[in-house]
Structure formats: C-alpha cells, structure tokens
Structure 1
Amino acid sequence: MRKRSRACEECHRLKIKCDVGTSSSGICDRCTRNSLECTPAAPRLQRDRIKELESQVQELRNVLREQSNSTTPSRSPGSLPLLENSHENAILSLLDARIPLSRQQPLLDFYLHHAGAAWPLIRVPSDLDRIRLKSPILLLSILVYTVTHATQGTELEVHDELVRETMHMLGEEVVGRGQRSLELVQALLVAALWVKTTRKGYQGSCYQIVQLAVDMAIDIGIAGFALQPSPVAYFDRHEDETSAEARRTWLACFVAASTSSMSMRRPSAVSWDGHHQECMLYLECVGDPLDMLMCQIVRITQIIQEISKRLSLCELTSFVDANDYSIHTVMEELKSKVDAWAAQIPTQLASSSTLNVLRHIAMIYIYEPVLHTPTNKPSFAAPFIPGRIPIKDFPKPLVAIPPLQSALEAIVFHCHSVIDTIAEMDPEIAISLPTFCFTPTVVYALFVLVTVLVAGTDPANTYGRFLPTEIFHIEECGLKLRELTAKLKDIDPTMSCYTVRMFDATSWLEEWYNNYTAILRRYESNLAN
C-alpha cells in the first residue's frame, strides 16, 4: 500500500490514513470497500477560505433577520400574522403608516358600495384581513385611487404621497422585480381606471398602465388560447385560468384597452374574440347582479369596438364620406345593434344611468363621420379642449343627401342626452365612476356638440341650412355642467379625484361660446352693412 500525497475528502473528514493500494484508478482502499466517491480533499488554505466564507454568510443572515424584526410594524390584537415576503411587508407598512388599520375596513366597504358597485370590473372580498394577506398591492391601489381625499381622511400632502408611492410600488413590482400575478393585473387596472395625479407632476400614463395590465394578463394565461404568454413568462401562469375572477379580470382588460383605443384613436390592442364571448356567457350564467351589470358594460363596449372598426374611427388615414348612401346603410346596421343591446338589458338594470350614457355615446360614435374630412380626424382624439376644434376643417358638401341631414340632427340629440343624463345622476355615483372609462366620454360628447355648432354656423357650409343655431342649447348645457361641478366639489373640495378636475375644466365652454357668438354677430353685422 502507498500513502497518498493528499487525503481524500472522506478520509480527511474522519481523520484517518488514506492509502491508494494497488488500484490503477487512484481510489483509496476505504472508498473502494464502501463504494464511495474518492475525491482528493482541497488544500488547507482553500478549506480555510471556504469555512471563512460560510461563516460570513451565516453572519449576514443573522443581521438581516435582526433588521427585519426591528422594522416590522406593530399590529393590533387579532390582526393577521406578518407576511414572509419583505416586499409585501413594505406595502402594508406604507399603507398602515398613513392610513390607520382601523380606517382601512370602512374605506374598503366604501369602495365595495360605491366605485365597485357602479363599475364592477374589479371584485375584491369584503374581509380586510383576507385581502391584506392575499392581495396587499391591490388593497393599496383601491384605498389610494378609488376614494377622494376627503373620504380617505388624510392630510393633503399624505394623500399625494400615497398616490406617488403607490405608483412607485407598482413599478417596483412589475419592472423592478418582474412579478406577474392576477392581483397585479387588477391593481394596475385600478390605478389606470381611477387615475389620479399629485400636485407635483404626473405619475405615469394611464394608457401605458393599461397596456402593462393587458400584457401581464396574457402572460399569466387568462387571455385564452389565441393569445399565448411570452416564453419567459410561461411558468408564471395563473393556477386557475377559468375561474370567475380570472374571467372578470380579462374582460376588464378588454374594456380598458377598448376605451384607451377610442380615446387615443389607435387600433385596439385587444380585439373581441371567442374567449371574451365565453367569459361573458359564463358570468351571465353563474354570476351575481354585479356580474350582470359588468356584462352589459362589456357588451356595449364590444359594440363600440365594432363601430370603430366598420367606420374606421381609429384609422386616421382612412376617410369615410358620410355624404354617401352606402355609409348610412352601415350606420343603420350599427344603430340596430345598439338598439338590440338596449332592448335586452335586464329589467333591474334598465334604469341604469351608466348604461344610458354608454348607449348615447355609442350613437355619437356612429354619427361622428358626418364631421370628418380626410385631414381632421385626429381632432377627435383626446384631449377634448377648445384648441383642438377643427374651426376651418369641416366637410362642405354642395348637396347634402337626406340621411346626412338626419344624422346631423341625431348627433346633436345624443350629445344633449349624454349631458342631461350625467347632470341628473347622483353626484356620489358620478364621482365613483372611473375617470379613465366614463368621464372623458361625457367631455367628448360636449366637444362633439360644440364641433357640430361650429360646422353648422360656418357661413360657407351647407350644414347651416338644416341646423338652426337654437337647437344647440349651449347655454343650458353649460349651466347643467356648472351645477354638476359644484356638487362634485362639495364631495371633493380639494379636487383630488380627476373626475372633478375634468368637469371643472368644462368651464371653458361658456367663455368660448361667448367669444364665438360675439365673432358671429360682428360677421353678420358687417354683412348687413
């Protein structure tokens, strides 16, 4: 037997002699007898270094554990045990430090009975402990975005800080940590639908947030077979892709993406398909009354998407001539679809102001091409402000066909109907509806009404022959919006809700109208002289 220059790992561990023997393989006798792997031990210096590094790692673990324990927020008796995930702990720490735990349940209940009931696309449990444990980032988004500053009961600076920090938290979860979950999709949708900004700058585009939510929904596999996840996200799929919650969330993505498409006048990132239909029929069969309302919102959104496609509303380089009988045939077909949808609304929802506004908005979209020229279509994208009214760029047909005349009268009627319906709505409901999906459509109706007025009063335009100025009732519309804004300000005096800010901005209407009518009077006076 011959002694090795360096013992194998097993012999070194047992502190015994290591002899190779006569084997040509270089395996020591002991390892041969016990069928062990014979590996030469590391040199002494290398072994000492490994032991030193292992000791340092253990020390670091001890320090991190002590720091975690020292920064843990105190909890009231009976609250849930702390979450293991440090990021989830950070979310709840942020929330608890600014909104007391005793205040969070009332705010959650307020969401369930107001925003969650008026626009039931994001459903959450009523049990605060459960949502804190399962969905802390969603809870944070709901308590920050869906209630006004006054309802939240915080200082104004704290409210702004919460808006800012919640967006940072969402960014950290989605981009910094690369997380994907149904909860995150819902939290992103809440932040986009009830978008808020601080008084010190913007906090991310709601349009981009919607796109993030849609992409993540596809990645976790709730978008159906036709939209497959990206390769890197394949193993992050949601555990139950056919659950009611998953189906609701994907339909919510569809509504948000379609609204974004119509607002920006870009082709929708999510087209209606068989999986949407399956999700909607499933919820209508097994869902509760809130699911019934949600499905009606989805149905009219799907019709609006079809209107957009057939009339090329989001294809800004494509011109549809409304002084063409074939186009009015398409308009009549689309009008019949809207009417059929309205006729099938369940009895308990027939009086819904929300659905009534959406019906009239769909009709305005149908008749909007009567105002289009090959060059003015971008004017009908948000923001809907006076500077975007195409003052000199209107269709000016030498002879207007009868359906075109009827369409102009119809679009004025539906613009008035939108403003009348929102003016009569309970302000508590109006302020609870999503800023992203609902409020801009009302401002859009006002914008279109003013645009028709300008087209009809242009001395060089034939539209004025069958659109008398007195049918527009701009003064009455301005008064109704001013009264509604006053009621909304009573609820949200600091205008923390973007809905209040948008309605307050419609005050431009009266000043603009006064200036415009003054110009018309001077023009008519010059003609008379």
Structure 2
Amino acid sequence: MLHRQQSATASFPTREGVRMKKRSRACEECHRLKIKCDLSTSPAGAACERCSRNAIECVPSAPRLQRDRISELEAQVEQLTRTLRDHSINTTPSRSPASPLEDHNGYILSFLDVRIPLGRQQDLLQLFTQRAGTVWPVIRITTDLDLIRQKSPILLLSVLVYTVTHNAQGTELEVHDELVRHTVHILGEEVIGRGQRSLELVQALLVAAFWNKTTRKGDQGSCYQLIQLAADMAIDIGIAGPSLQPSPVAFFGQHEDPTSSGARRTWLACFVALASCSLSLRRPNTIPWNAHHQECLAVLESIGEPSDVFLCQLVRIVQLIQDIHDQLFLCQIAMFLDGSDYATYAAMDTLKNRVDAWAAQIPPGLSSSQTLKVWYHVALIFIFEPILHTPTNKAAFVAPFLPGRISIKDFPKPANITFHLKLALEALVQNCHGVINTVAEMDPSLVVNLPSFSFTPLVLYSLYVLVTAMVSATDPANTYGQCLARDSFHIEACGLKLRHLSASMRVVDPTFSCYTTRLIDATSWLEQWYSDYTAILQRYESNIAS
C-alpha cells in the first residue's frame, strides 16, 4: 500500500518540480478561499503547501453532509439566542440590588411558552382567579397576561403548573411532569443559587407549597421546606413587621412597600402555611401570631374586598386553632393532659365558646361557605381530641393518618364516665361526621382546587379520629362503650360518601395530578379495614360469650 501511495504521488508535479500528493478533500482554509489544496512535501507531511507556507494549522474539511449539518446547528443556536434575547426583560423593581443584570426571566418564559402556548396560559390564568384563587385567596394576581409575564414570570409559572389539574392544563403527562420538576429547580436556582429575594418569589414558593404536586416518579419539592424558605424570605424583604428583622446580608434589599395590601396578604398567607405545618407535624409554630399579624388582618378587613374578607376569616380560624394547640399542649408530645379531668373539660369548654363566637361573627355573605364550615368542625375536633389521649399515644395523632397507625390497645380506659366526658365524646364524633358530610356535599371541582397541603389533610385527620374513637368505644372492656354505641359511628356510610367523592374527583382529575385527588382516593382503606376489624371483633365477642 505504501508503494502505491508513493507512485500516486509521483504523478502530480509542483512548481518546484517536486511531485506531491493531492488531497481527497481540501483543508478548511483552502475550502474557505475556494482554491486548490495540495499536500506539502514538509517532513511532517500533514499540512498542505499553502498552510505550511503561512504557518496555519491545516485541518481537513468535513464531508459536505457534515458541513451542512454543522451549518444547520449553528443557525439553530443563533435563532435560539435571538429568541432568548427578545424575551429577556429587566429585573423587577422589588428585587434586591445584589441581583445580577442578566436574570433568568427570558429563559423561564421560553421554557413555559414551548410547553403551554400563550392562548392557553391566558385561559389557565383566568381559571386560577375563578377557582383556586377564589376558594383559597392567599395569593392574588392580575389576569393581564402581558403584565404578569413582565413583572412576575416565576409566579406565573408556579400558578400555571401547580394550581390546575393536568387535565385542565391540556399538556401531555410527560410534559406535565417535566413542568413540575423544572419549576422546583427554577425556584431553587432563584432562591439558593442566585440568592434572589422578592415578594414574587415568596408568593411563588407559597403557591408551590399550598398546591404541592408530585410526578409519577415521585419527584417533588418538600412543601415544608418551601414554606420555611418563603417565611424566611418574607422576613428578609421586610414584610414581617418590626419584631422580625432581616438577616444582615438582606438588610439592604428590602421590599419597596412592606405595608402594601399585597405584602400584608402575603405575610398572612405565610402564617397560614406555617400554622398548617405546626398542625400537621405537631411542632410549635416557628413564627407565632404577633401584633403585626393582627395589624395586617385589621387593614385587610377594613378594605372590605370580598376575597380579603374571606382570607381574613380563614386566618382567624387558623389562628384560633393554633391557640387551641398551644393551650391543650397538642404540639408537645411528651405533655399529657387527662381528658377525663374536669379542669381539662373546663379548658375545652372555654375554647369551644371561642370557636362558636368566631362562627357567629362570620359575615352573612360567607356564612354558607362550606370551606369555613369544615374549619369550624375541625377546630372542635382538635378541642376534644385529648379525651382519646394516653401518656403514650399522642404521637399517633401526627400525620400521616394511615390505618396502620391506629392503635387497637393504647387508648383511655377511665373507671367512670362523667357527664362532661360523655358530652365531649359525643361532640367529638358529631364533628368528625360534620367534616366528612360537608366535604362529601361539595362540588368535586371545588375540592380539587382547594390546597392539598392545608385543607385535604383535615379530612383525613377527621376520619382518623373517628375510627380511633370507634376502636376505643368498641373495646368490650372499655367504659367508652357505655355512651357511644357501635352504630353511632356510621363508618360504612362515611366510607361510601368518600368513595363517591373520590369517583367524582377522578372525573375532574383523571390522571391524579393533584395531591388532593390522591389523598381523598387514599381513604379507600377504610372499607377493607373496617371489614377486617369487625370480623376480628365478632370473633373476640364470640369467644367471650362461649
């Protein structure tokens, strides 16, 4: 082969009389200049004559098809660069001075636009204000799509991804999962990676936490962490009042108007989120109610807008439930309060009067609200929960509310049932039924739009307490059975109502994209559990009788 190559070289004369080998493809420089490319006679033998003479690196050109593909890719890169440049906008005024000039807004909008067209974005924005934003008005946003894209693109992304079902979103399931995953990444990059602080980011974090979602692979952001980030950022931008000062690094980047309605509304939303964490985990609230919360509440109520009035009623009952937890030591697992003691019942009665007083002052336009009705019953369940406590079982009342955590042995067994204890037991069961009956009567599309973090767990908690009360009352050796008959719990009827609600919600959310749908569907454990428990109880009673 070497001999053949040498022979071929001898057939091409050069100007110096030295014969050279001709390339099969010109080098890049010769191809660019469209001139003849001859291999040099230099010892290296790798460069053409022109490149050797001009001391230029000689690189063989790519095949034509490859060159065409490279040109096509370069054109695509140039087009994407122009698109990002066109979409990029200035940093929002409320951002901290430390924000870099080049932010991610253009990229965020490009990412969103490819997956949800502009027309669909406008429809979903309207859907949020009509549904989720109405039944849980913790965040208020404009329906002017152009304005929110310019001012708050991250909040827009969070709303369109989290607050609507996959079915309403109109995307492929893979695209929906991608949106959920990437939105969490964007929030993390903005907050942690880039150190941004703004009212928009606080609101976006709260939306992602209240209407938390997961993908089919289980990827998600922790709602508890998102809420803590939102609360800390709210303090840093100065909307949390004078008693909570920002961190040193955030001192010069505070919000331009911490007393605006939006700032006050957002800080109250942070309280509701933090209180929900406290109720769910049975841990003390890291930022308890203070004078600034009260001031924000008074200001928003004085404005008198319907959504703010509704928000203030939600805040009032959540704050009252937080107070119930503090006075009855529900968030202190090691602290035991004897539910059969008269002093305990006296405290319960005082708290019940406060809940009734709250219900009496609800404005007439909201008196028929099913959402507020559920909160009323839940507040009373929390008040009477201690009658099911023992020194060792309080941890069983912490989420998640699963059938495997229901104790069939560790429950109170007082020697005597006092009149006050009998009233408390009856009230506990009555209010558990009140929650389940109210939710079962709701419009399924309304339930889907309620926050999966702050509302739906209350339903599961109520069912869990009802079943726990039934177990303690149906123990043949326990005195609770003297005032609570087995058929007074209506477990089968409750299971049927929740099963019908779950079926209706699956029509609205057939892919279970919202946690609310999944949580309500998870109550299906009740039917099989009750059947198994009844069978065990019947065998036990038969053995005693024989």
TM-score for both structures, normalised by structure 1:
0.85
| Contact 2:87/2:109 (8 A) holds in 1 | no
Aligned to 1:214: 231
Q: Distance in 1 between matches of 2:229 and 2:503?
A: 35
Q: Distance in 2 between matches of 1:242 and 1:135?
A: 19
| SS of equivalent to 1:507 | helix
Aligned to 2:354: 337
Aligned to 2:8: none
Deviations 1:416-462 (A, max 9, x none): 00000000011111110000010000110000000000011112221
2:342 corresponds to which of 300, 310, 325: 325
1:402 corresponds to which of 406, 415, 419: 419
The 5 Å alignment of 1:498-509 reads 498-509=515-526
Q: Distance in 2 between matches of 1:508 and 1:374?
A: 28
> Given residue 488 of structure 2, which amino acid in structure 1 is its aligned partner?
I
The 5 Å alignment of 1:473-512 reads 473-512=490-529
Q: CA deviation at 1:392?
A: 1.3
User: Given the alignment of the two structures, is residue 361 of structure 1 paired with residue 378 of structure 2, yes or no?
Assistant: yes
Q: CA deviation at 1:162?
A: 0.2
Aligned to 2:121: 104
Q: CA deviation at 1:405?
A: 1.3
Aligned to 2:83: 73
Q: CA RMSD in A?
A: 1.4
| Contact 2:88/2:107 (8 A) holds in 1 | no
Q: CA deviation at 1:204?
A: 2.1
> Given residue 410 of structure 2, which amino acid in structure 1 is its aligned partner?
D
Q: Distance in 1 between matches of 2:309 and 2:480?
A: 42
> Given residue 253 of structure 2, which amino acid in structure 1 is its aligned partner?
D
Aligned to 1:380: 397
% same residue: 62
Structure of larger gyration radius? 2
Unaligned runs of 5+ residues in structure 1 are: 1-65
The 5 Å alignment of 1:208-357 reads 208-357=225-374
Q: Distance in 2 between matches of 1:96 and 1:81?
A: 11
Q: CA deviation at 1:212?
A: 0.8
> Given residue 347 of structure 2, which amino acid in structure 1 is its aligned partner?
V
Aligned to 2:89: 83
> Given residue 430 of structure 1, which amino acid in structure 2 is its aligned partner?
V
Q: Distance in 2 between matches of 1:507 and 1:413?
A: 21
| Contact 2:320/2:355 (8 A) holds in 1 | yes
Aligned to 2:540: 523
| Number of positions where the alignment pairs a residue of Structure 1 with one of Structure 2 | 460
Q: Distance in 2 between matches of 1:394 and 1:508?
A: 22
1:114 corresponds to which of 116, 131, 134: 131
Aligned to 1:436: 453
Q: Distance in 2 between matches of 1:130 and 1:503?
A: 37
Aligned to 1:20: none
Q: CA deviation at 1:400?
A: 2.6
> Given residue 452 of structure 2, which amino acid in structure 1 is its aligned partner?
T
Aligned to 1:167: 184
| SS of equivalent to 2:251 | helix
The 5 Å alignment of 1:4-19 reads none
Q: Distance in 1 between matches of 2:383 and 2:182?
A: 41
Aligned to 1:41: none
> Given residue 168 of structure 2, which amino acid in structure 1 is its aligned partner?
T
Aligned to 1:197: 214
| Contact 2:84/2:107 (8 A) holds in 1 | no
Q: Distance in 1 between matches of 2:400 and 2:487?
A: 27
> Given residue 205 of structure 2, which amino acid in structure 1 is its aligned partner?
L
**Off by >6 Å, runs of 4+ in structure 1:** 66-69
| SS of equivalent to 2:83 | coil
Q: Distance in 2 between matches of 1:361 and 1:433?
A: 16
Deviations 1:269-314 (A, max 9, x none): 1211111110011000114100010000000001001000000000
> Given residue 331 of structure 1, which amino acid in structure 2 is its aligned partner?
M
